[in-house]
Structure 1
């Protein structure tokens, strides 16, 4: 969606209540959204008082009673969001899976009929009907549906929403497919589509196969805008975050039966490192690669410094460590200036334990969108693969100290040095993180990736940048977690190695 996008309202003629009243319903939706939208977990404008939502696109994709609207609205801060809106006469039926939190509000039609508008991603009947649009793959109105070559999309699968995502909404269809509904809409081809297609071409890579997608058509010079992605569903034992924190807690408590010291996640960390290396090598094979130029090295380090400067304004607690962090970034620039070639390629861009699923035959990496909120063009920038590695290493640190907080019953960093029991457990948590990080790096190397531990300057710089990013995030969203990245900032500013 561009700033000049025109409102597109495309009714699908039917016997339902939307035939003549779609404009009224869309207008009512936009009046109701300022009160409802800020409460959604995928709304990016936390702390922003929303006063207006304007319609950009509204199409009836499932006609009848109830009906389903696929909509995009622009808020007064310029962001665009997608909603799947169910419309039903009278109150929404809880039997449809519609919770009170999903109800957006009510509207009256021109003939006095009351309609309830609700967020329909938890309505299995409507989502199963939407799947048929992907099967047909026919352009209708303001939307286009496309298949990947050779994709098979079975119908008749019952939809069920998946929990745990923050920036998007995912719906599973049986154990075969998953529909990702993109919430924060940006113009241009979606990076995840591109990455998944590249991994599918490479073959034998731990990722989910892409099946289909929905987009707005590119017209009058505007770029197509991806709205939904249908991909293979990956049955799993759980995600990396839940598994790692459980293992970390057992290790910190001393309850783990594994012979591995301080917890039994070592083998999983090793396998996760292998999966990450395989993904990196496949992306390097299928997409562009080259070495970082001197001007790009300057641009990269300037971006790291800019992030630090922003954090210094919002979180003065990191001021004592600014000099050490600047040194870490300068050392990164010096590596390139001295003539050391630094390969760059497409990477995951937002890798952490929650982006990995433990499938029956190993780890599968998911969510290749890159860092949320950044334009797609920026997410396509070629970067050193070690940046993904550094991000995952930070995630092990988070898992350990989150588990420690659960054990002690206090937020991370609230333990005192006078609490000898807490201090002993904190040491165990740090040791568990180190042990897991070592396993990950060893697995990454065993699968053919360059050993991250042989590039301590790069690893320190990118870990420091990730920790600064975490400081900003926690200060804005979870202040009680702020001590975790602050401790990492302090360590990295002093140049302390942590990967083993």
Structure 2
């Protein structure tokens, strides 16, 4: 796939399906997806009309009934999405186990036959059959399946779809492996494969070792694009977001505004800070690391200002704080201009509590693909490690206010948070967030990372950038939650930090 414009492909013939059957299924998908695709959690073009899709790839990877198609479609805004599509020649209600919201379409074809097409990422039977493609590591038309050298991939494991994700879809195979099905497809080297391999090479950073991957074959001279990544499964006690929000809620419900009654999460936050520093050290060791030049600092500042300008168009509530935010960004450039070295390296790029799993022996960071929707080359840019730190600090703030909203039965910032009970609970939520942020920074420093609190200018700039992004996200998806990032924007525009 390339970024030069849409290219259609001719679906290939596979055992168990006639060529015209596959042509028919692709034609039906082109007709159905403009209405179905915008409702998916991982679809990036929310709020925009989708008039058409064009097929870039369509292969039958599991023939028979049901059949499994691995497909990539380009939308009319130029974005490319992968779908695993199940196909059965019968009405939707005749096949049990297919969730109603997974059905893309069901009805009679122009030649009078029944055809049901459904999103197959929740079909254990088809997903288990797909695993055999990775075991065999043999090409399938325009698809290639590759093993990491030395990886052992067991066959015959039962698939178990996982829930709770947004930008991609994950499937567990027993307690041995996890398949990540990438949704937004881009050409080029995959950042997650590269970074997981780097962490694996160090041997002392807990991570999910990569095992195999699927990619396009780079047909017609196009650069290959990664479609799926098979990696070790990390058994966990839960993800950071679930654990943090549960403990924040427990704290908010008690009359606690001091350190002692906050429960165990500051210890967890300390350990999470340690894990983050360990990952940063490993990435700096195994991949490129250097200091930021002044031209790069100017370019970085310009990028932050441009993001703010774009957000102001959709979020006018940011306008009163624009000058203060711009000052925060310009201060970052001044740090470099005055000769202060600013180390840059490969970082996680999309770090938050949901990207950490609490394993039996500590935290494991996951999902190293960077910010969804950004080109892979942009995700590979070297950046200050404090950017990941700032993103995690914002996540603590969100966890506290999400828990508060659940308790109040309304988003924070509404009338229920301004009465006496709501004010007290809001104070407890803020205290929980502050203590968690302090513990995270302390843990990061204890594990050999540079104390982020000694770089207040950098921390302020990157927290502000993240809060602006959050404001834009909330306006597009949950306008009632806009007060959360706006409160951070207000504080950061006035020169305050949040790490404590």
TM range (shorter): over 0.9
Query: 1:417 and 1:56 mapped to 2: Cα distance?
Result: 50
Q: 1:63 to 1:93 in 2, by over 3 A?
A: farther
CA displacement, residues 88-132 of structure 1 (integer Å, 9 cap, x when unaligned): 121246765311111111365686431211111111111100000
1:250 is aligned to: 250
Q: 1:8 to 1:332 in 2, by over 3 A?
A: same
1:126 is aligned to: 126
CA RMSD of aligned residues (A): 1.8
* 1:370-385 equivalences in 2 (<5 Å): 370-385=370-385
Query: 1:50 and 1:462 mapped to 2: Cα distance?
Result: 33
* 1:175-190 equivalences in 2 (<5 Å): 175-190=175-190
1:104 is aligned to: 104
Query: 1:91 and 1:443 mapped to 2: Cα distance?
Result: 56
Query: 2:405 and 2:367 mapped to 1: Cα distance?
Result: 27
Deviation beyond 6 Å, 4+ runs, structure 1: none
Query: 2:101 and 2:495 mapped to 1: Cα distance?
Result: 47
* 1:110-259 equivalences in 2 (<5 Å): 112-254=112-254
Post-superposition offset of 1:497 = 2.6
2:474 is aligned to: 474
SS in 1 for 2:45: coil
2:463 is aligned to: 463
Q: 1:94 to 1:466 in 2, by over 3 A?
A: farther
Give 5+ residue unaligned stretches, structure 1: none
Q: 1:70 to 1:380 in 2, by over 3 A?
A: same
Query: 2:205 and 2:106 mapped to 1: Cα distance?
Result: 47
Residue 30 of structure 1 contacts residue 54 of structure 1 at CA under 8 Å; is this kept in 2?
yes
Post-superposition offset of 1:47 = 1.0
Number of corresponding residues: 498
Post-superposition offset of 1:301 = 0.6
Residue 292 of structure 1 contacts residue 342 of structure 1 at CA under 8 Å; is this kept in 2?
yes
Give 5+ residue unaligned stretches, structure 2: none
CA displacement, residues 461-481 of structure 1 (integer Å, 9 cap, x when unaligned): 111111111111111111111
CA displacement, residues 341-377 of structure 1 (integer Å, 9 cap, x when unaligned): 0000000000000100101111110111101111111
Post-superposition offset of 1:7 = 3.0
Between stretches 182-191 and 336-345, larger displacement belongs to 182-191
- Using the size of structure 1 for normalisation, the TM-score is 0.96
Residue 71 of structure 2 contacts residue 82 of structure 2 at CA under 8 Å; is this kept in 1?
yes
1:420 is aligned to: 420
Query: 1:94 and 1:339 mapped to 2: Cα distance?
Result: 70
* 1:55-66 equivalences in 2 (<5 Å): 55-66=55-66
SS in 2 for 1:21: helix
Residue 251 of structure 1 contacts residue 264 of structure 1 at CA under 8 Å; is this kept in 2?
no
2:395 is aligned to: 395
CA displacement, residues 375-433 of structure 1 (integer Å, 9 cap, x when unaligned): 11111110000000000000001111111111111112114685122111111111110
Q: 1:150 to 1:418 in 2, by over 3 A?
A: closer
Query: 1:468 and 1:245 mapped to 2: Cα distance?
Result: 22
Query: 1:498 and 1:34 mapped to 2: Cα distance?
Result: 43
- Using the size of structure 2 for normalisation, the TM-score is 0.96
Residue 262 of structure 1 contacts residue 428 of structure 1 at CA under 8 Å; is this kept in 2?
no
SS in 2 for 1:36: helix
SS in 2 for 1:317: helix
